Each structure stands twice: as structure tokens, then as C-alpha cells.
Amino acid sequence: MDMEPANRRILVIDDNVAIHDDFRKILERSLDTSLLQEVRAELFDDVEEQKIVEKFEVETADQGQMGHRMVQDAMKAERPYAVAFVDMRMPPGWDGVETVEHLWQEDPDLQVVICTAFSDHAWEDVIQRLNKNGQLLILRKPFDNIEVWQLANSLTKRWAESRQAKSQLELLAKWAEERAEETIKAN
């Protein structure tokens, strides 16, 4: 079975453009970082410290409706996002919960992190309303850079594993159906 390349596509939906820049700085590997790692390896001779860090492909939207259209377009192009970081408050449009509901209508496999400094909704209500506990995490603002990177890294892997499991189940179902047809023909 061919392994498809890792999906490191991240969508950030937040009405604050400065947050978009923060996510890009955290998740997109810059040339400065690469150069710094090379110099460090030469100076301190610690090649094992210089691990290749896969960068993420980060796209942004400033409102839930725009993010929804981006997910629709990504699905049509067969280039889905693995993870969406969604702000809870985005006036004047949809809030984070409504945005996530629309995103999951388009892509039920999308991993989601709701980011917020406020709690406009009781978290129990949010979790119950969205009803996909295995695909939903909450990140409080202000967030730590390493938390964002770890979430993105873990959730892109979870997305891939979920997709692989689904593919294997489909193969098993097809195989079982073929065997059942063969058995019926044989009898």
C-alpha cells in the first residue's frame, strides 16, 4: 500500500490578523531557524540536535463564513485541511461553535481546536452541541507557542491515522462483500 504524503494543512480562523501571523511564526519553518540550526550544528558539533522539522502549510480566514468556503474549496480540490484552529469570538459573523458545525458538515474528519480567552458558552454545552469529543480540543489564549506546535503536530497525525483506519475498514468491508458473493455463487 502506497503511503501518501503527510497532510500538514492547517486552517486558522480568527478575526484578529495578528493571530494569523502568530500561527505562521509558530508553524511555518523560517529560513532564519534553518540557518540558526546549521550554525549551531557546526559550532557545537551536535548533529543529533539538528532534527528535520516538517513545516505546516498554514492558511487563514478572518471570519467563520470565509473559513467554511475555504474548507469547501479544499474538499472539492481533494486537498482537505487536517486541523482547524478556530477562535470562539468573531463578530459580526458566526461564533466559533457555529463555525465548527459548518466546517464538520463539509469535512467530518477535520480535527478542530477552539481558541478563546473568554467563555461565552459553558464548555459542557459546547462539547455536547458539537458532539465530536475525539476531534475537538480547547486552547486558552494567550497560548504558548509550544502548545500550538504540539497540538498541530499531534492532530495532523491523528487525522492521518483516522483516515488510514477508515480506508482499511472500507477495504475489509469490500473484501467481506466479495467473499459473501463468492460463497453465494459456490452454493
Q: What is the CATH number of the domain that holds 21?
A: 3.40.50.2300
Structural domain containing residue 13: 9-162
pLDDT at 77: 97
Pull the grid cell for residue 129: 452541541
Residue 169 lies in a domain: no
Residue 60 lies in a domain: yes
Residue 96 lies in a domain: yes
Low-confidence ranges of the chain (pLDDT < 70): 1-4, 29-43, 45-53, 119-121
Nearest CA-CA partner of 82 in 115, 58, 65:
58
pLDDT in tens, 14-58: 999 999 999 999 998 644 455 556 656 666 766 555 455 678 999
Residue 181 lies in a domain: no
Domain count for the chain: 1
Residue 148 lies in a domain: yes
Residue 86 lies in a domain: yes
Residue 182 lies in a domain: no
pLDDT at 30: 47
pLDDT at 117: 82
Contacts 24+ apart (CB under 8 A), 26-34: 26/145, 26/148, 26/149, 27/55, 27/56, 27/58, 27/148, 27/149, 27/152, 28/55, 28/56, 28/58, 29/53, 29/54, 29/55
Residue 76 lies in a domain: yes
